[in-house]
Amino acid sequence: MSAPAPLAGITVVEFTHMVMGPAVGHILAGLGAEVVRVEPIGGDRTRRLMGSGAGYFPMYNRGKQSICLDLKSEEGLAVAKDLIAGADILVENFRPGALDRLGLDYDSCATANPRLIYCSEKGFLPGPYENRTALDEVAQMMGGLAYMTGPPGQPLRAGASVIDVTGGMFGVIGVLAALEERHRTGKGQKVTASLFETTIYLVGQHMAQYAVTGTPAAPMPARVSAWAIYDVFETRDDPVFIGVVTDALWEKFCALFGLDELWADESLRENNARVQARDRIMPVIRDLVGGMTAAEVIAKLDGSGLPFAPIGKPEDMFDDPHLNTGGLEDVTLDNGTPVRLPTIPLEMGGHRIGAPQHLPQPGRDARAVLAGLGYGSARIDALIEGGAVGESE
């Protein structure tokens, strides 16, 4: 069964690097759009990042075509403009003004292609900060997410590029909304998503908490939880998270773990009372769970309706039995190595989005992309031999 492709027939040209912009193109490609990624001659430097950046390129650039252009040359820039003229969507996430200086600003592109949806992924939406350079970490620090994640006085960024990826998702939402509006008007438009405002949307619940209670939200490690039991518990081997989030689940929890004495205390039947009695309840539960193995705890909780989770690591996910029913897709890296990486977390029409993918080598699709623009073989050869277009070896 083929994967769903609701965006089949939609063409995207992508001028991106790092994570935020490529995430937009990856999602659109996963939904069936044809995405042509424009890279500099020799390939995007993101391909060669080490350390925590080593996974950026393979994660967010599957399912795309690659063409390498020298945008500082007249010939390379002309190819880019031809790609844009025939595209439905343009995605870019370079510093403010970078594409403008090449004549690839929204107004110029829209003049050549009025139906174009121009998705710009930036650090900030218009305002006093809009020309600052931003990164995922900058936005997390400025917007309060790092403050909420770390213990008091020790701001800590989240353990994944959550703002880059979520900002990319907001970009996709805007693009899909613009596509729907284009069905009615026939015209494209500019869509801008940003790191800082994405962060603010995510911490909005804590802003609202302050508005409602008058008390600033405490960092998560020091928070007063809304529930009495909502913690990581040590077992004899590996820790397990357990949440008891309703009064009915409290009754079930007490029954599963033989906490007859706690259940007999009618003063603990309501959640708010249990929150106030945490200092009395938690040592009993920690002692009980601490005498069991993680497998024993999970065996009791599985199927009970109680929220629980073993504490997983990213490398554990390759062998996760649930993910291996459709949550991972086969990917061939540009060096030929086969891996399995997370697919887009959607099911449409009863089918998962994922499908086998190849990671594009730099410029691998140059000849096919140029031929698709109507260029003849002689012109293609001249562009490649002249250095305006790069071709993978």
Please list the active-site residues: 164
CA separation for the pair 276, 273 (Å, rounded): 5
Q: What is the token pair recorded at 154?
A: 């020790």
Helix (H) or strand (E) holding 28: helix 20-30
Spatial CA neighbour of 359 closest among 13, 7, 2, 22: 22
Cβ(17)–Cβ(46) under 8 Å? Answer: yes
b/e sequence 118-155, b meaning 16+ C-beta within 10 Å: bbbbbbbeeeeeeeeebbbbbbbbbbbbbbbbbeeeeb
Spatial CA neighbour of 393 closest among 29, 94, 41, 19: 41
CA separation for the pair 206, 76 (Å, rounded): 48
b/e sequence 178-215, b meaning 16+ C-beta within 10 Å: bbeebeeeeebbbbbbbbbbbbbebbeebeebeeeeee
